[in-house]
Amino acid sequence: MDAKDANLKDKVDLKKLKLRWGKDDDIDGDSRHDREVLKQLQPHTNLEHLVIRSYKDIIFPEWVGHSSFSNMVSLGLHDCKFCISLPPLGQLSSLKSLSISGLSGVLIVGDEFYGNGQASTKPFQSLEMLRFENMAEWEEWYCWSDEAFPLLQELCIRDCPKLAKSLPKHLPCLKKLEIEDCEKLGGLLPTAPSILELELKKCQALQLEPLACGLRELRIRISNMDDSVLEQMLQQCTLLEKLRLDFCSEIRSLPEVRVPIKLKQFSISFCENLDYSDIFLYKSLESLEIGSGKCYGLESFPLGSFPMVKRVRIWGCEDLKFISAASEGAHHQHLNSLEIHFCQKLISFQIEDGLAVTNLTRLGLTCCGSLKSLPEQMHSVFPSLEYLEIGGCPEIERVPKEGLPSKLKEIRILGSDKLIESLIRKKEWSLHTLPSLTSFHIGSEVEMECFPDEHLLPSSLTSLWIWDLPNLKSLEYKGFQHLTSLCDLYIYGCPKLQSMPPNILPPSLSHLYIEKCPLLKEHCEKDKGKDWPNISHIPVIEIDGEVII
């Protein structure tokens, strides 16, 4: 059909239009043909939403950005990589959202973008969100005047490696600014008295001055800023609530003065020269995440250092050896989640007798190769614990003698063979005494040919996950008979498991998942496998990603 025959210009009720060309890498024939096609596809001026993708000419026809499209509220230009200039989008008086990406032929964004000075009103007078992304050759942004973008609330510039200058000077309504992978971009950030959120990644040439006092969230990644620049940036940020620093290798200490008194969330990682003990300056924290590398100054982490903290996540800290808690000056009442991952030197918990972290509901310990034991009085230290994960901790030999916290709902034990040996061989866990336990995950390379033993698991269990048991040959009939609430059974990576005996699975089972168990898969094949009659009553069966019923 000819483009003219589409007759879009007369479709008064057309509100949304997406136009997309093929994804050829080169201009195919005369690119002016594409311009003529787009010209013939001009819609009615009632259009509100427009997206043009992979258009191949070097300029857009006159109707794109024409002021007569006074109802246009959103516009996207994507992967039009042969275009060398932008249309006069500043003339669209109702435009609120503008996204431009992949226009790699554009070197300068100048007067033409705003409307060549022809508009009788302020350019982009209604625009609230503006995004530039993946503009490989873009070098300069000529900002028309301080009158442009009077209502802009969100500005995002990503992956524009040659952009050198410059950002708009004044954006009175800007609330969120993201600049990522713009290494040559220099000059100052816009004056933005209303800004709430700022993210800077790999934009080393920017001149960073004190940020607006109303800033609530700051994220800085891959930066060469040092201590003094960080302190200068934060000196007026008395309302800052969220701070994230990643790959800032020149920062050696955190600001000791004007610490944001409202800071609630702090995340820091790969700051290899930082003295991590400075973190304890921030007493108002509710969430703390520390990650990777030497973590100098953090040999011990005292849980009671933050009176308001609810969540702590520590990962990859090479120097961390102890998690401690003492009653003197301790503040543990708000902590509900503690996760420690890839801390290979972590040896133990040092928790004072009689102390209880009363509201902790979640504890995760993974890939801590030197950790030898769990807190001995775990049932009373963590009385509210509901979720316990232990993975890749080969030196933990047993659960505490006094048992596990009675409110546990989910337990995951993976790749911790000595601990699983104590469960299977020595029956030390007493899982059947946990009245709230509904989900259990197990995975190990121990010599376990049959699972589970009779009364090993509690009757309250609704979900059982069996992971990577390479020596498992059979499922124990007696171990399943009392699991009268079991709904979901997931079996993964058990190459020697080959049968599903009759009547082994409880009538309550509604979902059976089998993956990477080739022998079992063969025996459970629909209408053909010898064990199919034993499982065909289950409402949903999924084998290697294929839903059978």
> Are residue 403 and residue 435 in the same domain, yes or no?
no
Give the pLDDT confidence score for residue 30 in this predicted structure: 56
Look at strands 311-317 and 287-293 and give their pairing.
Answer: parallel
> Would 241 be classed as within a structural domain?
no
> Are residue 390 and residue 437 in the same domain, yes or no?
no
> Are residue 402 and residue 441 in the same domain, yes or no?
no
> Are residue 476 and residue 360 in the same domain, yes or no?
no
Residue 201 structure tokens: 């990644």
Q: What is the DSSP string of 101-125?
A: E--TT--EE-HHHHTTT--SS-TTT
| CA dihedral over 118, 61, 165, 179, signed as positive or negative | positive
> Hey, is 243 helix, strand or coil?
strand
Give the C-alpha distances (Å, rounded to integers) separating 429 from 435, 446, 485.
13, 17, 21
Q: Of 159, 166, 212, give the one whose Cα is nearest residue 188.
A: 166
> Are residue 168 and residue 97 in the same domain, yes or no?
yes
Write down which residue in 377, 408, 439 finishes a domain: 408
> Would 414 be classed as within a structural domain?
no
Look at strands 410-414 and 439-443 and give their pairing.
Answer: parallel
> Is residue 274 within 8 Å of 299, Cβ to Cβ?
no
> Are residue 8 and residue 119 in the same domain, yes or no?
yes
> Hey, is 171 helix, strand or coil?
coil
> Is residue 324 within 8 Å of 300, Cβ to Cβ?
yes
Look at strands 108-109 and 140-141 and give their pairing.
Answer: parallel
> Would 204 be classed as within a structural domain?
no
Residue 229 structure tokens: 């620049």
Cα 278 to chain centroid distance, Å, stands at: 26
Size (the chain), residues: 549
> Are residue 53 and residue 132 in the same domain, yes or no?
yes
How far apart CA 380 and CA 352 sit, in angstroms, is 12
Give the pLDDT confidence score for residue 29 in this predicted structure: 52
> Are residue 401 and residue 497 in the same domain, yes or no?
no
Tally of domains in the chain:
3
Give the pLDDT confidence score for residue 289 in this predicted structure: 95
In whole angstroms, how large is the CA radius of gyration of the chain?
31
How far apart CA 261 and CA 282 sit, in angstroms, is 8
> Is residue 422 within 8 Å of 399, Cβ to Cβ?
yes
> Would 448 be classed as within a structural domain?
yes
Residue 135 structure tokens: 């503009």
Write down which residue in 152, 186, 220 finishes a domain: 186
> Is residue 265 within 8 Å of 290, Cβ to Cβ?
no
How far apart CA 132 and CA 530 sit, in angstroms, is 60
Return the CATH number at 166.
3.80.10.10
> Are residue 448 and residue 349 in the same domain, yes or no?
no
Q: What is this structure's pTM?
A: 0.87
Residue 265 CB contacts under 8 Å (≥ 6 apart), including other chains: 241, 242, 243, 244, 285, 286, 287, 288
Give the C-alpha distances (Å, rounded to integers) separating 112 from 116, 119, 275, 345, 373.
5, 11, 50, 60, 68
Per-residue pLDDT of the chain (549 residues), as tens digits, is 566 667 888 889 999 999 999 866 555 555 677 888 898 899 999 999 999 999 999 999 999 999 999 999 999 999 999 999 999 999 999 999 999 999 999 999 998 999 865 545 789 999 999 999 999 999 999 987 778 999 999 999 999 999 998 899 999 999 999 999 999 999 889 999 999 999 999 998 888 888 888 899 999 999 988 888 888 888 888 889 999 999 998 999 888 655 556 889 999 999 988 888 888 888 889 999 998 777 888 899 988 888 889 999 999 998 899 998 876 655 578 899 999 999 999 999 988 777 788 899 999 999 999 999 898 889 888 999 999 999 999 999 888 888 899 999 999 999 999 999 888 776 667 888 899 999 999 998 888 889 998 888 999 999 999 999 999 999 999 999 999 999 999 999 999 999 998 889 999 999 999 999 999 999 999 999 999 999 999 999 999 999 986
> Would 99 be classed as within a structural domain?
yes
Provide the residue range defining the domain that includes 452: 431-548
How far apart CA 307 and CA 297 sit, in angstroms, is 21
Residue 110 structure tokens: 């100048």
Instruction: Report the DSSP beta bridge partners of residue 306.
Output: none
Residue type, 145: S
Q: In degrees to the nearest 10, what's the CA dihedral of 421, 425, 426, 432?
A: 90
How far apart CA 87 and CA 208 sit, in angstroms, is 32
Is residue 535 within a helix (H) or strand (E), and if so which, with residue range? helix 532-535
> Is residue 461 within 8 Å of 484, Cβ to Cβ?
no
Residue 279 structure tokens: 């973190």
> Are residue 69 and residue 162 in the same domain, yes or no?
yes
User: Position of tokens 């030898």?
Assistant: 372
> Are residue 404 and residue 464 in the same domain, yes or no?
no
CA distance between the termini of the chain: 44
Report which DSSP code applies to 466: E
> Would 201 be classed as within a structural domain?
no
> Hey, is 182 helix, strand or coil?
coil
Query: How many C-beta neighbours within 10 Å does residue 499 have?
Result: 17
Across the chain, which distance is largest between two alpha carbons, in Å?
Answer: 84
Residue 13 structure tokens: 């009720």
> Are residue 16 and residue 164 in the same domain, yes or no?
yes
Residue type, 140: E
> Would 378 be classed as within a structural domain?
yes
Give the pLDDT confidence score for residue 210 in this predicted structure: 84
> Is residue 406 within 8 Å of 378, Cβ to Cβ?
no
> Would 197 be classed as within a structural domain?
no
- Torsions phi, psi for 534 (to 5 deg): -80, -15
Write down which residue in 186, 204, 225 finishes a domain: 186
